[in-house]
């Protein structure tokens, strides 16, 4: 009596960056549960949040490096979380009764954003924004009182940060 052994069936996982701005990943093929290769995709202004079998996140989720069963071939889509902005300094000063161009230095200033202030009688307009700098035009009324106030930076995703500034 001879025993004929059938080799196990192999399945392939393809990785999709799902909006990534850099990196690439090779497909993985296996016939048994195996840890997935760590994510190599990047996306400007976002952090990697894991994999999902559906591009919109409605499928089965897998953490970075998680075990995948390899019982069927699949495409795993990267899922991203918008990075929160962080402001570290304000360059330039604000004087009551005047207008000035100043900059907020920090990180995570991606996409369309808003800047608001709690300074009474102050108006703020974003002139330019890059990943690490926001250039503002600020006008402060003559009746505004001197003191510490704040700028709040709000991203499209609703993430925000606040930094103080001084009106003289």
The boundaries of the domain holding residue 114 are 86-167
Predicted TM-score (pTM) of this structure: 0.67
Lowest mean pLDDT among 6-15, 20-29, 50-59, 140-149: 140-149
Q: How many structural domains are present in the chain?
A: 2
132: left (phi over 0), alpha (psi -120 to 50) or beta: alpha
Residue from 128, 65, 66 nearest 102 by CA: 128
User: Token digits for 91?
Assistant: 């360059």
pLDDT recorded at residue 56 = 95
Instruction: Report if residue 4 sits inside a domain.
Output: no
CATH number at residue 133: 2.60.40.10
User: What is the arrangement of strands in the sheet containing 99-107, beginning at the earlier edge strand?
Assistant: 86-91, 99-107, 133-140, 122-129
Q: Could you give the maximum distance between any two Cα atoms of the chain, in Å?
A: 101
Q: What would the mean pLDDT of 8-21 be, rounded to a whole number?
A: 95
Q: Which of 82, 99, 122 is the last residue of a domain?
A: 82
16 and 66, same domain (yes or no) = yes
Same domain, 15 and 70: yes
Question: Where in 6-72 does DSSP place strands (E)?
Answer: 11-16, 28-30, 34-35, 46-52, 61-62, 67-68
Q: Within 13 Å of residue 45, how many CA atoms lie on the same side as its CB?
A: 16
- What is the average per-residue pLDDT within 41-47? 89
Q: Are residues 161 and 101 in the same domain?
A: yes
Go through 96-135 and write b for each residue having 16 or more CB atoms within 10 A of its CB, e for each that does not.
Answer: beeeeebbbebbbbbeebebebebeebebebeebeeeebb
- How many residues can be counted in the chain? 168
Note whether 107 and 69 are same-domain residues.
no
Domain endpoint, select from 24, 51, 82: 82
Say what the pLDDT of residue 37 is.
95
Check residue 7 and give its pLDDT.
Answer: 78
Q: Rounded to an integer, what distance in angstroms lies between the CA atom of residue 8 and that of residue 142?
A: 79
pLDDT at 160 > cutoff 80: yes
Residue 3 lies in a domain: no
């Amino acid at each position: 009596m001879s025993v004929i052994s059938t080799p196990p069936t192999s399945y392939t996982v393809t990785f999709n960056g799902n909006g990534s701005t850099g990196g690439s990943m090779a497909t993985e093929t296996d016939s048994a549960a195996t840890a997935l290769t760590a994510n190599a995709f990047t996306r400007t202004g976002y952090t990697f949040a894991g994999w999902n079998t559906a591009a919109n996140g409605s499928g089965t989720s897998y953490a970075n490096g998680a075990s995948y069963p390899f019982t069927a071939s699949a495409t795993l889509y990267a899922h991203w979380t918008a990075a929160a902005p962080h402001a570290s300094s304000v360059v330039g000063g604000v004087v009551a009764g005047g207008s000035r161009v100043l900059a907020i230095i920090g990180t995570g200033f991606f996409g369309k954003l808003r800047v608001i202030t709690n300074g009474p009688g102050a108006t703020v307009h974003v002139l330019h924004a890059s990943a690490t700098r926001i250039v503002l035009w600020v006008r402060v009324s003559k009746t505004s009182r001197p003191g510490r106030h704040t700028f709040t930076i709000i991203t499209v995703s609703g993430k925000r940060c606040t930094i103080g500034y001084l009106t003289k």
